[in-house]
Structure 1
Amino acid sequence: MRIRTLLIALIALCASSLAMAADYYVDITNRTGYTIYYMYVSPGNSKSWEEDVLGNDVLMNGDTQRVTLTGYTNPYFDIRLVDEDEDSYTFWNVDVSTQDIIVTLDHLD
């Protein structure tokens, strides 16, 4: 009986962990006047940047890119963009469940 109780508790724990993970997305619009070559999005509690989500693509001035974030447990992310002149624009602790990003020269680091 004790093993059965432990097994049920373990299944409930696994199910609750899966239920807490969610998919988020953020739309990022470039209004800098420059082409953005790199876009890094990392969980807000991360100590390093994850891979460039643009890959071989670029984000032209005036364009919008949707970034899908799958399997995370909270909606807070840090976002860093790097343009053609290697200028960076960093947004800290963005709640992507309620906020999209419009990048302008006012956001230049």
Structure 2
Amino acid sequence: MKKWLLVGITALTASAASSVVVAEAKQDFTLVNKTGYTIDQVYVSPNATDNWLDDVLGQDVLEDGQKANIKFHSANEICKYDLKVIYDDKEEVEWTDINLCEEEKITIHWNKKSGESSATFD
């Protein structure tokens, strides 16, 4: 399991994002839940580490159809990250080596037929 020193990542739900002004970092992205299920926890961590940062959702969850704006500290220069989501049934899925300096949106999908999660990157 990954844990790492905090580099200033926060998540803002769509409703909270309008009331908070945060300087944009090149790694900022929107995470969209299109799984049909609730995502309980989201971890984003530099690819070069073996440890996860704190849950960027904090005490919140990401319901199906919702999105969260993941914000980084603007002085952060790291581009390659790993992403882990944990569903409310404790199922975990990870994606590695995501270049967040190039991606603005990550959409998580669940394929009921195959029983697998996938992600699209925009």
Same-fold call, TM > 0.5?
yes
Q: Decide which structure has the larger Cα Rg and report it.
A: 1
Report the TM-score, using the length of structure 2 for normalisation. 0.65
**Displacement after TM superposition at 1:46 (Å):** 1.1
Structure 2 gaps of 5+ residues are: 1-23, 111-115
**Displacement after TM superposition at 1:26 (Å):** 1.4
Structure 1 gaps of 5+ residues are: 1-21
| 2:100 is the alignment partner of 1:90 | no
Match of 1:104 among 109, 114, 117: 109
SS state at 1:107 partner: strand
Report the TM-score, using the length of structure 1 for normalisation. 0.73
**Structure 2 partner of 1:53:** 56
**Cα deviation digits, residues 15-48 of structure 1 (max 9, x gap):** xxxxxxx922011100111101100010111111
Match of 1:40 among 40, 43, 57: 43
Which one has the bigger helix percentage? 1
**Structure 1 partner of 2:6:** none
- The number of equivalent residue pairs is 87
**Structure 2 partner of 1:30:** 33
Aligned Cα root-mean-square deviation (Å): 1.6
| One-letter amino acid of the counterpart of residue 41, structure 1 | V
Identity of paired residues, percent?
Answer: 25
SS state at 1:30 partner: strand
**Structure 1 partner of 2:13:** none
